[in-house]
Structure formats: structure tokens, C-alpha cells
Amino acid sequence: MTTAAPDDRSTVAARGQPTDTPASTTGAVVELDHVTKRYGPPGTPPAVNELSLTIPAGEICVLVGPSGCGKTTTMKMINRLVEPTSGRLTIDGRDVMQLSPVDLRRQIGYVIQQVGLFPHMTVGDNTGVVPRLLRWPEARIRERVEELLDLVGLEAAAYRDRYPSELSGGERQRVGVARALAADPPVMLMDEPFGAVDPIRRDRLQNEFLRLQSRVRKTIVFVTHDVDEAIKMADRIAILQRGGILAQYDTPDAILSHPANEFVERFVGADRGLKRLSLARVRDLELIRPVLVRAGTDRTDARRELQASAIGFALLVDDGGRPLGWIRDTDVDEQGPIDPEQATPGASLIEPETTLRDALSTMLASSVQLGAVVDQNERVVGLISVDQISEVLQSGNLPGSTDATG
Amino acid sequence: MTLIEELGAWLADPAHWTGPDGLLTRLLEHIALSGACLAMAVAIALPIGLWIGHTGRGAAAVIRAANIGQALPTLGVIGIILPLTANIEPYGFDLIPSIVALVALAIPPIVTNTYAGLRQVDPEAIEAGRGMGMRELQLLGLVEVPLALPSVLAGLRISAVQVVATATLAAVLGAGGLGRLIIDGIAQQDDAQLFIGALLVAILAIATELSFAGLQRLAISPGVRGRRAVRESAADA
């Protein structure tokens, strides 16, 4: 369910970056074997109870559940911020209890709620914390910081010397991710990393993070209480229930189509059919060829193109190919050049990584039930329609869901 | 003679400036005594404040003791110490009681402000630091102290100003300093000397205040400036 290979190549190319990603360590297998955590003496109810999970290398495993289900405790046992009471945790077969907590943590990226950037350090210093702890030479740290900021889409020259208080929530979030990746750890722990960002930016950051993950292929343990986020981000979801009991551990599709028990069924919600739409992405659909017109184009030409296509709407674009609004076939009845004022503003902009579910709600919210699929530079690459998505719902077959995992 | 004329006459006498009892000697004595006492107080109070602030252990007891210490009158402390040290040669009668009293005066603000500063540090930042593999001392040095610095320096500033102002009392015991000008001025009914002594103490206290304000500006990261330190109150004494 992560970004498929052909797409990330086009993504990278679209961003004008070299296609050979800097050599990086890919994920390690994380294994929990009958792990229990009790905060009180023996006999007290455990926070995490006999939990066994195998997280394959390079996958995103989302721990999700109601508060008090032990998801954060479970995550923190992996880097020993919490010591397990019993059971074994291994990373690539090595028992975490055999390593010193300090050495262990320096090999595990960590992104926490509210990001936890150090306010007194610049973006560059924040990003370079772990390399500095590992005593890398300054020149190498500097180089690495630049590379990482570029990787998360922040221009190093502009951001390196800023302080966290001068950044937006989304920018802080990206710095947090860059910082966690600094020493190129095989494993990353993320505790509600997008919790502090508003819903619209969260969606973009999630998409961005999935794109990034398709390049770095870390093993990621991701904690959230939000089922939708879990479905969107996960290769595998571990649903925990109160008392740290594992209710189900499976792929999002399997959990939505075959919930293991009533708890899971209630937890994922009655709309799980609709939620399955989160598992397919816009790029999995066959895009409709758009009719693009520029402001000032002659109406006769536009009319001819519109008649040739079956959709009844043309998209008014600016000189960079970015959409400005919809033009109806009735808007081009007269003669003369097209007046941009006539366009119905607010074309829904949809990224190829957007899930079908998000695309559907975006399109339903606009007056024209079409979405303009745009690339990184907001250039239109095609259209999708509400009808296409309802066809998916009816057929029950998700496009691209069979071959996208792993 | 008006006070102005008296001052003019007093200042016109070069012996009042230089020489073993001169104003410059007294000023240097005052600065040396204050500086030494502050340094000793920092050496004692800072580790205590850092320890209780970082671990939270023993904080309640230490803070209670510091508050009591803050309430002790300096003259009272001198009165208690003096009989104990009076027989120690050569400084038992003058310097040692003064130093003990001034160090005792300077410790509580440093301890309480260091503690409060560390406790105010965002737990997220500490958790992030620990989760990234910082050792406890690295956490303290790289995260907690820089973030607590406004408050820590505010404590130092309060102590420094209090010590400079109160060091005047050392002269009562014969330990020198600008207080001598005041005491001698009173004893000799020399208003000019009394006035100049008092004025210099005030100027020195203000200069101390300003230099610490400058230090705060230099030492505190622009990323945290603007955060208010606890108890930024001006010193009294």
C-alpha cells in the first residue's frame, strides 16, 4: 500500500532532484515476542499484555486504539524509554535489552507529538543533533543536514538558520522528520506525528511522508488514535484494545473487509466500506483526459474541443498549466476570446497520492463533480470523476490494491 | 558649607582617591568581596539547583530551606557566625563572617531560579532529547540548561545585586569595601564621605544589574528570547 515504484520516480523527476537517492539504510525487522508491561507490582493489570508482533523491514506498522490501550507504551518499549516487564523485543534479531539505551536510541529515529524540536536550536542544529551525539565531523554533519532538509522539501539555505518559533506547524513537522532521519536509522518511531497540524495540512504532510518513505524504506512504528490516519499510512495495522491486548494485526484492507471481532468492527466504524476507499489512490485510477483552455483562447476552439470530449467541462489554466476554474460548454456559446471571469472558480485540486476517499469528499464539496489531478507544480495531469469512484465502491475491487503492498 | 561644597572639597583631596583608605581601594575591595562571594555561591547553588531541577529529587526540602534562607537577615547571620569564627586568625573576625553571610544571601535565589527554570522546560523537549539518545548530562547541558537560561541568569542577577548592595555591611566588621566610607562618614560626621560611599554602592549595584542584563542578552538563544523568566523582580536589600 506504500507508494508504488513507478510513481516515486515521476515524483522525484517532477521535483527536479537527482533520481539516485543518497545511499541509505533501509528498514530492519522489528519483532515483539510476548511483551508485557506492568506499571505496578505483579498482579496489577498490565498496560501491554503478552503482545507479539512482527513488523517486516521497510513497512509502516500503525499502532492504533482507544486511549489506555498501551499503544504509546508499546512504541516506547522499542527504544527503551519504557522497559518491558517481560518478553523480548528484537531489531534485526538483536535483543534491545542487550544494547545500552543510549546506543539503541541513537539508531532509532524518534518523532514525537508536537514534534519536540528544541526551541533554542536552529533548524540546522536540531537536524544535526544525533550526528553530533555520534561525533560526526562538522563538515559531514553540515552536508547531511543540507541533504535532509532538501529531502523533506525545505530549502537548506532558507531554513537552516531559522528557529522553530519562526516556522509553521507543517514546517516544524518536516524538520522533525528530517531530524529523526539524520543518522540514517533503520527504524523510526513516530508518536502521533501529525497531531498538531490542521486537517488540510495534515493530509499533505501524510502524502509527503508516504512519498518520502517510498524512497527511504525505513521500518516505521507509527502511533495514532485516528483510524483514518492508520488506514491511510499503514502497511499493517495493529489494533489494540484497553489493557494492551492485540485485537487484530493485519493489512488495512483485511481489517476493513474482515474485522476479527466486534471490537475491531466498532473501532473501524460502520462506514468501513467507504473507508476502504482510503486504500486506493487517485493514481490507481485511469485518469480522464482533460480539456485545457488558457485565458484568451478563442471560444470557437474551446467549443470544438469540448464537443470532442465527453465530460462537458473544460479546465481554465494559467500559463504554467495550473487550474484556475471550470468552463462549462454553455460558457463558450458566444464568439471571441474566453473571459477568465466566466469560469466557475475552485476546481478541486487532487494529488496523485490522494486517497479515493479524500478525493471523493473533495469533489462532493465542489459544484463540479470532477477533480483536477495535479503534479507537484500544480500542473494538471488529468481528471477524475465522482462516477469513477462510485464504480469502485459498487464493484468492491480496489484498483491497484493487489500489487501495491510491500 | 552646603553638601555640594563639602563633596567638592572631599573629592578635591587626592588622598581620598588613592592610598590605602582611598575610594579606589574601597571600590576594589567591594568588587573583590562581592565577586568572590558570588562565585562561591554559584559553585554551591548551581549544582544543587541543577540536580533538584533535573531529577526532581529532594526539591521540596531544598526549596523550603532556600525560602527560609532568603528570609534570614544578613546582620543576624553575621551575629551568629561571628562568635564561632572570632578566634580564627587572621580573618576570623572580619572577613569570614562577612563572606559566610553574603554567600548565604546569594545562594537561595540561584537555587530557586535554577530549579524553577529547569522545571519549566517543555517536557516534550526533554522526552525528545532522551529519545534521541542523549545521556543525562548531555540532556542537561544541551537541552535543559539552554532552555532554563533566562531563569538561571535571572537568579544570578538577583543574587549579584543583593550581594553588591549588602556587602556594605562587611565594613561593620572591618572587612573593608565601600561600606567603610559610609561608616567612617557617620562616625566622623563627614556627610560628604557618607554620601559618596552610598552613591558608589548604588552605582555599583546598578552597573551589576545592567551587566547581567547584557549577559542575558548575549547568552540566551534568540529562539527562546521573549520567554519570561520567573521572578524577574528587582533585588531589594
Tell me the DSSP string of A33-77. Answer: EEEEE-SSSTTSPPSEEEEEEEE-TT-EEEEE-STTSSHHHHHHH
What's the pLDDT at A405? 39
Give me chain A's average pLDDT, please: 85
Does the pLDDT at position A397 exceed 80?
no
User: CB contact, 8 Å: B83 with chain A?
Assistant: no
Among the partner-chain residues B128, B222, B224, the one whose CB lies closest to the CB of A112 is: B128
Interchain contact, B124 vs A130, CB within 8 Å: no
**Which is more confidently placed, B73 or B107?**
B107
In this predicted structure, the answer to whether residue B194 has a pLDDT above a threshold of 60 is yes
Kindly tell me if the per-residue pLDDT of A89 is higher than 50: yes
Where are the CATH 3.40.50.300 domain residues in chain A?
Answer: 11-107+185-279
The residue segments making up the domain with residue B179 are 3-236
A284-395 in CATH: which number? 3.10.580.10
**Whether the predicted pLDDT of A43 surpasses 90:** no
C-alpha–C-alpha distance, residues A203 and A170, integer Å: 11
Query: Can you tell me the mean pLDDT for A368-391?
Result: 87
Distance CA(B157)–CA(B163), nearest Å, equals 10
Residue A120: HSE in the Cβ half-sphere, 13 Å Cα cutoff:
21
Which pLDDT value is given to residue A5?
40
Rounded to the nearest 10 degrees, the angle between the axes of helix B191-219 and helix B23-55 is 40
- The angle, 0 to 180 degrees and rounded to 10, between the axes of the packed helices B95-120 and B59-71 is 140
Nearest to A127 by CA among A92, A154, A103: A154
A356-365 long-range Cβ contacts below 8 angstroms, 24+ apart: A356/A277, A356/A278, A356/A280, A356/A281, A356/A282, A356/A284, A356/A285, A356/A389, A356/A392, A357/A274, A357/A275, A357/A277, A357/A278, A358/A203, A358/A278, A359/A282, A359/A384, A359/A389, A360/A277, A360/A386, A360/A389, A363/A389
For residue A361, what pLDDT band results from cuts at 50, 70 and 90? confident
Q: Which comes out higher in pLDDT, residue A25 or B102?
A: B102
**Tell me: the pLDDT tens digits for A317-341?**
888 888 888 888 777 777 777 777 7
Q: pLDDT higher for A387 or B90?
A: A387
Q: How far apart are CA A215 and CA A207, in angstroms?
A: 13
Average pLDDT for A351-362: 87
The x, y and z cell numbers of residue B43, run together, are 559553585
- Highest mean pLDDT: which range of A22-36, A192-206, A354-368, B24-38: B24-38
Segment B131-143 mean pLDDT = 95
Residue B143's pLDDT is: 95
Non-local CB neighbours of A57 within 8 Å, separated by 6+ positions: A26, A27, A28, A29, A92, A186, A217, A219
* pTM over 0.90, yes/no: no
At how many degrees (to 10) do helices B3-12 and B191-219 cross? Answer: 80
Percent of chain A with pLDDT over 70: 92
Long-range pairs of A382-388 with CB within 8 A, sequence gap ≥ 24: A382/A287, A382/A288, A382/A289, A382/A290, A383/A287, A383/A288, A383/A289, A383/A290, A383/A311, A383/A315, A384/A282, A384/A285, A384/A287, A384/A288, A384/A350, A384/A359, A385/A288, A385/A311, A386/A360, A388/A285, A388/A286, A388/A288
A342 versus A383: which is more confidently predicted?
A383
Nearest Cβ partner for B222 among A105, A112, A163: A163
pLDDT band of residue A292 (cuts 50, 70, 90) is: confident
Residue B24's φ and ψ, nearest 5 degrees, are -65, -40
Question: Which residue of A lies nearest to B221 if distances are taken between CA atoms?
Answer: A120
CA torsion B79-B82-B84-B87 (nearest 10°) is -160
Q: Are A227 and A240 in contact (CB under 8 A)?
A: no
Identify the three-state secondary structure at position A357: helix
- Please give the distance of CA B41 from its chain centroid, rounded to a whole number: 8
Q: Which residues contact A23 (CB under 8 A, 6 or more apart)?
A: none
CA separation for the pair B189, A60 (Å, rounded): 85
Burial of B5 (0-12, 13-18, 19+ CB in 10 A): exposed
Q: Give the per-residue pLDDT at A370.
A: 87
Total domains in the fold of chain B: 1
- Measured between CA atoms, the residue of chain A closest to residue B149 is A120
What's the whole-number mean pLDDT along residues B153-160?
A: 95
For domain A11-107+185-279, is the CATH number 3.40.50.300? yes
Q: What is the pLDDT of residue A223?
A: 95
What is the average per-residue pLDDT within A49-64? 94
User: Coil, strand or helix: which one is A171?
Assistant: helix
Strand partners, A30: A55, A91
B132 touches chain A (CB under 8 A): yes
Q: Predicted confidence band at A20 (pLDDT cuts at 50, 70, 90)? A: very low
Using pLDDT thresholds of 50, 70 and 90, give the confidence band for residue B107.
Answer: very high
- The predicted model gives A15-35 an average pLDDT of 69
Asked if A119's CB is within 8 angstroms of B122's CB, the reply is yes
B90-105: average pLDDT: 84
Domain with CATH 3.10.580.10 in chain A: 284-395
- List the CATH number of the domain containing B28: 1.10.3720.10
pLDDT score recorded for residue B92: 66
Q: Enter the ipTM.
A: 0.80
pLDDT at A406 over 50: no
Q: What is the spatial distance between Cα B208 and Cα A207, in angstroms, rounded to a whole number?
A: 55
Chain A residues with at least one Cβ partner in B under 8 Å: 79, 81, 101-107, 110, 112-122, 129-130, 133, 163-165, 179, 189
More confident residue, A390 or A23: A390
* pLDDT computed for residue B142 by the predictor: 95
Confidence of residue A107 (pLDDT cuts 50, 70, 90): very high
Confidence class for position A23, pLDDT limits 50, 70, 90:
low
pLDDT value of position B152? 95
B125: nearest CA partner in chain A: A116
Give the residue, A320 or B207, on which the prediction is more confident: B207
- CA distances to A83, A97, A114, A246, A327 from A61, in Å: 21, 22, 20, 13, 44
Residue B116 has pLDDT above 80, yes or no: yes
DSSP codes, B101-142: HHHHHHHHHHHHHHHHHHHHS-HHHHHHHHHTT--HHHIIII
